[in-house]
Each structure stands twice: as C-alpha cells, then as structure tokens.
C-alpha cells in the first residue's frame, strides 16, 4: 500500500494534534553536540518503505511526523508498506539493483547483508547518542559496522507472553509460572482443559525468531561461540529441542507454518490461551467492543526462565537504513535526524502504546510504560535484549543465518518429530556452517 502526500495531509493533521502535548522544550541535559546540518536538494522527494503496522496509532504518528517534515522543508515524503516477511527481500533487492526506496525500516542485522550499499550516517548517530543519553548497546550493535553507523536503530518491538488469566486459573495455576518446567506443566493442563497454547514455529520474522531464540538460550545453547565458530550442535541445544518436543503437543495444530499474524488471529478467535506477541494483540482485543470480556482477561509477563537461571530473550529490532542509490542524500539525512528528535520520537513512542520501545536512553521516561499494567512486561526490552548473533559478532553470517531461518527450522523439525533432536541440531550445524565458514 502506498500513502500519498494527500494521505499525509489528512492523517498527519490529526496525528500532530494528538501529539501536541509532547511538542515541548528539550530537557536541560540534552545539550546538542556537533549538531549536523542538512540542506535538502532542490526538487528533493523521498520514498520510505516500512513494515505494515499492527498498531494503527503507531502508523498515524509516523505519518504525522513525515507530514511535519514536509511542512518544514517542502520535501514530499511517500510512504510504502509491505508485510513483515516481505521487508527483508524487498530491501535486499533494492540494495542489489541500486534503485527503489531511499530509506527502509529493516529488521535485526539486515544492514550487514549489504553494508557497502548504505550511506554512512555516523554524523547523525553520534549527534543523537550524545544528545539523548546514548543508544542502548543491543540496538546500536545492529547498526554499527567497523565503528560506523550504517543505519540508525529506530525501536525494539517488544515481545512478551500474553495469556487468558481466567483460563490459567481454571488449569490450576494462581500465577503464571516463571520457570520452564512449571510452564510446560501449565501448558499441559491448559490443553487438558480445552485451551491449547500456540507459539510460532514458522517463518515469522518477529514471533518465530523471538520464541525459538528464547528456547535455545534459556537452555544454554547458542548458534556460535565467542570466536564466531558454529556451536549449535551441543548438549544444551539438544536439551532445548527435547523440551520443545514435549511442549509442542500442548499447541493448537499447525504452528510450524505460522507467520507473524497467525497467532494473533488464533488468540483473538479464542482458539489458544497463551502466546508470545507484541502488545498489539492486547489492543486488538481492547479496541474491539465484541472482545471486551477477553481484553479484561488478558495479562502479560516475560518468558519463563530456563536452566540457565536468567532472562534471555531476543526481541525484534527495527532500524532505518539509507541507500547510496538515493538521489537526495541531504534530504534523506534531514528526514532521519528530524524523526529521531525528542518531539517526534516522544509522540511516536506514545502513539505506539508500548509496541515500540525507545532506542535512546533519554526517552525511557515516557509515561506510556506506566499507563497500563499490561505494558510493564514490554518496558525494558531495549535495555535487556540479546542480539541474534550471540555469542559471536553481528555481521553477514549472522544476518544470513537468521534470514534463512536456520534456528527456527531446527526447532520446528524437532517439535513436529520430522527429525530427532540430535538430527535437527546436526542439520542446523551444517546449514549455519555454510554462512559462517569464513569466520
């Protein structure tokens, strides 16, 4: 779907009006450090490609910020949308052919798949970090290559457990389990009561990766070691695969083919009792009068702690990248700087209703995180996330391994019985080694 300038004018006015409480003076600590200045080229126009929204108000605020930029600079901004799964291939095509959108909102370590195609935005990244308390390290790592910003971290799309409280109590649990063993027993009890669980084991960019990385890390497994050598075929990985083989029978059928939208649909239809998702799922129920009873019953929490004894979760990071094929690099940099400044970022984070967690530490005091108890499980995602390249370094190999769903496929194969845990780990090792063979 393409959003025209006319759409921006219509939607943006309402969005800016809603955001007006946040158009306030910068705090005293926010002192500009070597602020870069950009003068848009004559006749400049920009095309932005972003992911399709799950929270309409988040998109409205993004559009409103683009409209404000147009009003300030005269530079028209066209916003296109693609499904979450299609962003990665669309961005890769743009990089390879040298044409297409100027700026794309990409996932995880995608920038490392084509770093030579991206504009160095270190001038903006350094300025914003100095002005707003620094970038969260986990997010910054997704956009820095050889010490240079090849993108700017836009947000962490937080992921947490959402569940039906009354059904969990019906299954005999007064509180949601915080350990993996008890979590498995709860899911068995829920299934026995006719309320199966449902976690994504398919190629869901967000939900599939988040769930499967949690499974691996909570049991002590890792794709590579700290020397970037493939280490997925390990006793810890096999233990995680045996665990998911026990957990899978408590799921609704078909989760191995789910994309990011499928668990939302199943939960809202009352087909599953518990899943992992962004807060958008809660708001889909809350904003539907027919689902008021369900919304009142929804609770959130973080994923249970496994044998490693600590919280270890992935969380989905989205970043902005600027391609070298842009005809208007000054206008594009001006746009990026504009949307990251406090008035625009505050308005966008607030409008996302806890869906998007801030990339810069100075924005952590946004009142959205305490405005609803359901938001609490999502509040610290940017601070606590572990990057998908753990325990090695991010780069082309980690990006390609994730893009090829090596880890997700391994868990799906073991869960469904398509392969034994041992064989699934061996196959994942073989596939990952193709990408990591050069270290």
| Structure-token match 């359901």, residue found | 374
Please indicate, yes or no, if residue 80 is contained in any of the structural domains.
yes
Mean pLDDT of the chain: 93
Rounded Cα gap, residues 128 and 152, in angstroms: 10
Q: Residue 361 is part of a domain; what is its CATH number?
A: 3.40.190.10
What whole-number distance in Å separates Cα of residue 135 and Cα of residue 109?
16
Mean pLDDT of all residues in 274-297 = 97
Please state whether 403 falls in left (phi above 0), alpha (psi between -120 and 50) or beta. alpha
For 136-163, what is each residue's pLDDT tens digit? 999 999 999 999 999 999 999 999 999 9
Whether residue 166 is found in the same domain as residue 211? yes
Tell whether 411 and 264 lie within a shared domain.
yes
Is 283 in the same domain as 181? yes
Number of domains in the chain: 2
- Based on the fold, state whether residues 319 and 309 are members of the same structural domain: no
User: What separation, in Å, do the N-terminal and C-terminal C-alpha atoms of the chain show?
Assistant: 40
Peptide bond into 244 cis (omega under 30): no
pLDDT of residue 25: 43
At 20-49, the pLDDT tens digits run 443 344 443 344 568 999 999 999 999 999
Instruction: Note whether 177 and 218 are within 8 A (CB).
Output: no
| Per-residue model confidence as pLDDT tens digits over 257-271 | 999 999 999 999 999
In a domain, 149, yes or no: yes
Which residue(s) pair with 197 in the sheet? Answer: 251
- The Cα 359–Cα 319 span in angstroms is 9
- The predicted pLDDT at position 286 comes to 97
Statement to judge: residues 302 and 341 lie in one domain: no
Q: Residue 274 pLDDT > 60, yes or no?
A: yes
- Is the pLDDT at 336 greater than 80? The verdict is yes
Q: Which domain holds residue 105?
A: 2-158+315-384
Task: Mark whether 47 and 102 lie in a shared domain.
Answer: yes
The two tokens of residue 392 are 């090695």
Residues 256, 165 within the same domain: yes
């Amino acid at each position: 779907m393409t959003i025209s300038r006319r759409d921006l004018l219509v939607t943006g006015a309402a969005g800016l009006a809603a955001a007006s409480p946040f158009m306030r003076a910068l705090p005293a600590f926010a002192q500009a450090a070597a602020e870069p200045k950009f003068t848009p080229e004559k006749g400049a126009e920009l095309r932005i490609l972003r992911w399709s929204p799950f929270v309409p108000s988040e998109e409205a605020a993004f559009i409103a910020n683009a409209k404000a930029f147009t009003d300030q600079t005269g530079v028209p901004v066209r916003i296109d949308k693609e499904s979450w799964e299609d962003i990665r291939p669309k961005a890769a095509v743009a990089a390879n052919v040298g044409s297409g959108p100027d700026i794309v909102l990409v996932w995880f370590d995608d920038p490392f798949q084509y770093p030579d195609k991206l504009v160095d935005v270190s001038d903006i990244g350094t300025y914003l970090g100095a002005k707003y308390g620094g970038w969260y390290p986990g997010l910054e790592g997704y956009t820095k290559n050889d010490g240079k910003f090849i993108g700017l971290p836009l947000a962490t799309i937080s992921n947490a457990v959402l569940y039906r409280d009354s059904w969990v109590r019906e299954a005999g649990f007064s509180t949601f389990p915080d350990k993996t063993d008890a979590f498995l027993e709860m899911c068995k009890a829920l299934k026995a009561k006719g309320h199966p669980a449902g976690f994504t084991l398919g190629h869901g960019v967000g939900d599939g990766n988040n769930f499967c990385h949690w499974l691996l890390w909570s049991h002590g497994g890792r794709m590579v070691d700290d020397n970037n050598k493939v280490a997925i075929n390990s006793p810890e990985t096999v233990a995680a695969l045996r665990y998911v083989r026990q957990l899978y029978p408590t799921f609704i059928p078909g989760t191995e083919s789910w994309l990011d939208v499928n668990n939302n649909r199943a939960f809202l239809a009352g087909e599953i009792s518990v899943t992992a998702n962004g807060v958008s799922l809660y708001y889909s129920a809350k904003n539907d009068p027919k689902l008021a009873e369900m919304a009142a019953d929804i609770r959130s929490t973080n994923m249970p702690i496994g044998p490693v004894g600590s919280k270890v979760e992935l969380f989905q990071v989205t970043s902005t990248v600027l391609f070298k094929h842009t005809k208007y690099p000054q206008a594009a940099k001006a746009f990026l700087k504009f949307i990251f400044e406090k008035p625009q970022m505050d308005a966008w984070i607030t409008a996302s209703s806890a869906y998007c967690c801030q990339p810069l530490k100075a924005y952590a005091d946004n009142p959205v995180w305490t405005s609803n108890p359901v938001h609490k499980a999502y509040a610290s995602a940017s601070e606590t996330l572990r990057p998908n390249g753990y325990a090695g370094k991010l780069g082309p190999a980690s990006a390609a391994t994730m893009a090829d769903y090596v880890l997700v496929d391994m868990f799906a194969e073991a869960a469904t019985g398509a392969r034994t845990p041992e064989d699934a780990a061996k196959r994942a090792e073989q596939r990952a080694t193709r990408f990591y063979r050069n270290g």
